[in-house]
Amino acid sequence: GQSLEQPSEVTAVEGAIVQINCTYQTSGFYGLSWYQQHDGGAPTFLSYNALDGLEETGRFSSFLSRSDSYGYLLLQELQMKDSASYFCAPSGSARQLTFGSGTQLTVLP
Amino acid sequence: DVKVTQSSRYLVKRTGEKVFLECVQDMDHENMFWYRQDPGLGLRLIYFSYDVKMKEKGDIPEGYSVSREKKERFSLILESASTNQTSMYLCASSLGQGGQPQHFGDGTRLSIL
């Protein structure tokens, strides 16, 4: 079967670092993607990990451990504009993604 | 930049109507997807297509059908709309395989009365 777990809500202050964890179970696995969605907006792609380890893109980093079926998104130097929903999305096939319910991140001044 | 365009931002229809949601992408992407998004449930895949005239069921295909007659266009059809199909519908496209990003349209907020 398939399952996906990530926290429903996270709150942090401006300038802080926050980590959003994701554990997954899929029948097949190609990689783990992360998407950001602001209220009223469309999801936008942040990162993709196919191999174990850390991928860094500016203030955002994403980590994957295939053996643990676990990944996380790390957001550094938080800004107010980072308040959004963040979705981890494992690829159970070459083309498809499975989206969870997402994590609502609130950044406080 | 990839542009995914959904025909309507807001749509109100009545129970029992046949409803068409249109999606067009301008980047020659092979893959196109239809999701619905509901509070607390995230994005759920309804159907996807990886080539013209090809379609695959997603996680919640019941009550929906799709059409892909041209590569750039992917239509979602509600054969007989019901109130439980009131939702935000999101179309996406992607290129090839192996973790290529999905590019989303702005969504259609559909209300079935």
Q: Which residue from A minimizes the CA distance to B56?
A: A96
Q: Positive or negative CA dihedral for A81, A85, A91, A94?
A: negative
Q: Is B69 left (phi over 0), alpha (psi -120 to 50) or beta?
A: alpha
Confidence category of residue A1, pLDDT binned at 50, 70, 90: low
A53 alpha carbon, distance to own chain's centre: 14
* pLDDT recorded at residue B10: 96
What is the secondary structure of B39-81 as a DSSP string? TTTEEEEEEEESSTT--EE-S--TTEEEEEEETTEEEEEESS-
Q: What is the 3-state secondary structure (H, E, C) of A70-104?
A: EEEEEECCCCHHHCEEEEEEEECCCCCCCCCCCEE
B 1-30 → A contacts, CB under 8 A: none
Mean pLDDT on B22-27: 95
Could you read off the pLDDT of B34-92 as tens digits, one per residue? 999 998 888 999 999 999 989 999 999 999 999 999 999 999 999 999 999 999 999 99
Q: What pLDDT, on the 0 to 100 scale, is given for residue B40? A: 85
**CA-based angle B97:A33:B102, to the nearest 5?**
55
pLDDT for B24 beyond 80: yes
How open is the CA angle A87-A84-B106, to the nearest 5 degrees? 80
Q: Measured between CB atoms, does B102 come within 8 Å of chain A?
A: yes
Contact flag A95-B48 (C-beta cutoff 8 Å): yes
| pLDDT of res. B99 | 74
Tell me the sheet residues that pair with B96.
none
B102-111 per-position pLDDT tens digit: 999 999 999 9
CB contact under 8 A, B106 and A44: no
Whether the per-residue pLDDT at A2 is higher than 80: the answer is no
Contacts of B12 (CB under 8 A, 6+ apart): B110, B111, B113
* Bridge partner residues of B13 (DSSP): B112
pLDDT, tens digit (0-9, with 9 covering 90-100), for A56-97 = 989 999 999 999 999 999 999 999 999 999 999 998 777 788
Q: pLDDT per residue over A20-49, tens digit each?
A: 999 999 888 889 999 999 998 999 999 999
